[in-house]
């Protein structure tokens, strides 16, 4: 049995500028988005998924992703991520200068076709091409490459996703050249027992060093329970979005991401460092209110205020 180390410092990967905005009707103005990213950085966030290199006509909310990457790269020590669905997207991401790119491979092939218009074979081939492109880059500017196993815990179209299918695709992604694997609960069906089991099993087939992050949603209110379960398995990086923005356009019924404010609060209460200043983090909600008028913003912690003994 492998030794699991529970981290005393974890990384919050803020996905609001990508996963959040992608699922909002409104389009946040570019300048405001830059200021939001800067404010998140100043609140202590050190990893941000700033956008997705997808056709602007499909996702006008993310049309300025290259500009976002360029802006985010001016913030010292910030790890800048973007999603890429194909080689063309990866070329854009490299030209923009990302630190890492993610390819969302959905274990539900129905969802993969709907979301990326790719079969599993096509997606794996795209991953192979992207990995090849990355390998050609000079070492000092070579981005890392993460395969995100979407719908790994269930799919709102296909229903149950077999763990064997997750593991088989994990192997294929590693073989095709990804550096890391992330487990994504795209629609929020995961439960904590399943989270622990799937992390262990994925590490068994892909190596513990390759499975360091989870992307969880809060559709059933189990987001923090799942994050805690993942932390108990030694996971280091936790995706979430400010105000719980987000969902999935190709997944009916998927509701928002874990609320960053609540995740930070849980880890701080547990004595786990995130580097985030809660007051400054909560203040960044103003950018959502300004840039996405009428959009619902969630969060228990902003509503309740900090516990008495945690008020600065």
Residues with active-site annotation: 248
Q: Which stretch binds a second copy (CB under 8 A): 40-48, 137-145, 148-156, 206-214?
A: 148-156
Compare residues 130 and 227 and give the one whose CB is closer to a second copy: 227
Listed in sequence order, the residues at least 6 apart from 8 whose beta carbon sits closer than 8 Å to its beta carbon are 271, 272, 273
Selection from 122, 118, 92 nearest residue 82 by Cα: 92
305 binds a second copy (CB under 8 A): yes
Of these, 65, 156, 274, 284, which contacts a second copy (CB under 8 A)? 156
Q: Which stretch binds a second copy (CB under 8 A): 39-47, 95-103, 156-164, 235-243?
A: 156-164
> Concatenated DSSP letters for 266-299?
HHHHTT-B----HHHHHHTHHHHHHHSTT-----
218 binds a second copy (CB under 8 A): yes
Strands 100-106 and 47-52: unpaired
189 binds a second copy (CB under 8 A): yes
Site size toward a second copy, by CB under 8 A: 43
Joined together, the tokens standing for residue 158 give 């296909």
- Give dist(CA 225, CA 64) in Å, integer: 34
312 binds a second copy (CB under 8 A): no
- Give dist(CA 164, CA 61) in Å, integer: 35
Q: How far is the CB of 307 from a second copy (least distance, A)?
A: 5
Compare residues 202 and 218 and give the one whose CB is closer to a second copy: 218
- Give dist(CA 198, CA 89) in Å, integer: 29
Q: Which of residues 223-282 bind a second copy (CB under 8 A)?
A: 223-225, 227-229, 253, 255, 259, 262, 265-266, 269-271
Report whether 170 contacts 201 (CB < 8 A). Answer: no
- Give the footprint of a second copy on this chain (CB under 8 A): 154-160, 187-189, 191-194, 218-225, 227-229, 253, 255, 259, 262, 265-266, 269-271, 299-301, 303-305, 307-309
């Amino acid at each position: 049995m492998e030794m699991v180390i529970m981290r005393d410092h974890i990384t919050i990967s803020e996905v609001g500028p990508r996963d959040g905005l992608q699922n909002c009707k409104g389009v946040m103005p570019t300048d405001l988005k830059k200021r939001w990213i800067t404010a998140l950085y100043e609140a202590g966030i050190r990893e941000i998924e700033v956008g997705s290199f997808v056709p602007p006509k499909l996702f006008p909310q993310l049309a300025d992703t290259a500009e976002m990457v360029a802006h985010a790269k001016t913030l010292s020590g910030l790890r800048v991520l973007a999603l890429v669905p194909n080689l063309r997207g990866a070329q854009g991401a490299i030209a923009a200068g990302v630190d890492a790119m993610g390819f969302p491979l959905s274990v539900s092939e129905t969802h993969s076709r709907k979301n990326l218009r790719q079969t599993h074979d096509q997606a794996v081939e795209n991953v192979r091409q992207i990995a090849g492109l990355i390998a050609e880059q000079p070492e000092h500017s070579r981005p890392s490459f993460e395969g995100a196993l979407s719908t790994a815990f269930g799919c709102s179209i296909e229903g149950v996703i077999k763990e064997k299918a997750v593991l088989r695709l994990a192997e294929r992604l590693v073989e095709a050249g990804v550096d890391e694997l992330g487990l994504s609960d795209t629609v929020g069906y995961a439960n904590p027992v399943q989270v622990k089991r799937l992390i262990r099993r994925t590490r068994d087939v892909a190596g513990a060093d390759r499975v360091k992050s989870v992307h969880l949603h809060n559709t059933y209110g189990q987001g923090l329970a799942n994050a805690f379960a993942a932390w108990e398995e030694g996971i280091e990086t936790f995706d979430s979005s400010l105000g719980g923005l987000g969902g999935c356009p190709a997944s009916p019924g998927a509701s928002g991401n874990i609320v960053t404010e609540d995740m930070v609060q849980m880890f701080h209460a547990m004595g786990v460092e995130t580097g985030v200043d809660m007051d400054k983090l909560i203040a960044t909600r103003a950018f959502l209110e300004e840039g996405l008028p009428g959009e619902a913003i969630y969060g228990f912690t902003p509503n309740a205020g900090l516990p008495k003994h945690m008020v600065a």
